[in-house]
A = this chain, B = another copy of it.
């Protein structure tokens, strides 16, 4: 890569604010003043799309206003821990899948009102089996229904004026997609959606060795083979043993400089990268702020 390579846009997913800096008056100042960032990915752990319309409208207005006032761009809004706890669009009960589809529709509406042009996250999980064995593939009927829902959701996002929807692949056989081939198939099957579906891979997902086996450069094939449909990336520090979502004050296997090099080499680079970290609820605020200040500085420098 030449010295003149363009900087990689770097921001932070607001998952770290969960139950802490929950209002836009709080998180805009943490992001701007403490972390020195001006790009974020909003989290639906801060606003539940099922809140009543009037409450959502008020919160959307505050998010839009505070982000603008502090010079922060909100690239996208992503499903957080709360919604990910459920089986979403792959729950065994079709009525619960319908509820998850409605949840996403309301998420799109909130995003549009808040001035956030993109929405995404994982799609869902099938149930486990009694004997602990895990399916190699989702049932064809379930997959077909999922694709139909994604087309309907694309239309709904279009009606709300959004510009892009994301699937975040997760390292679980019960979720979908979890391989590069599945991700490619899905991208083919949702081509033509009213709003384009794209991928947002996560550094701690593709590198999860208990599922994919050992491989230091495990993100490389994802980026190389899916470069045309990847327009955002999650980064985290991790040990490849679990999907850690550590900050970069914790020692781990992800090297930010190598990460930047890989994003440039595979042509992902113009896409923004978001640090996504989660802390135990009982972790104290002060050490979180300090660790995030250090991590943001480190990553800002790597992605320059």
Contact = CB atoms under 8 A, between A and B. Distances in A.
A286 interface: yes
Nearest to A33: B130
A26 B128 contact: yes
A85 B84 CA distance: 11
Contact of A171 (B48, B129, B282, B286): B282
B281 A52 contact: no
A284 interface: yes
A: interface residue count bin: 35 or more
Contact of A55 (B58, B95, B281): B95
Nearest to A18: B85
A282 B26 contact: no
A84 to B, nearest CB: 7
B130 A29 contact: yes
A127 B58 CA distance: 18
Given A51-B96, A52-B99, A55-B99, A282 B208 contact: yes
B285 A20 contact: no
Considering the complex of A and B, which 10 residue pairs feature the smallest CB-CB distances, nearest first? A132-B286, A20-B128, A82-B85, A132-B285, A82-B82, A132-B289, A55-B95, A128-B285, A19-B125, A243-B282
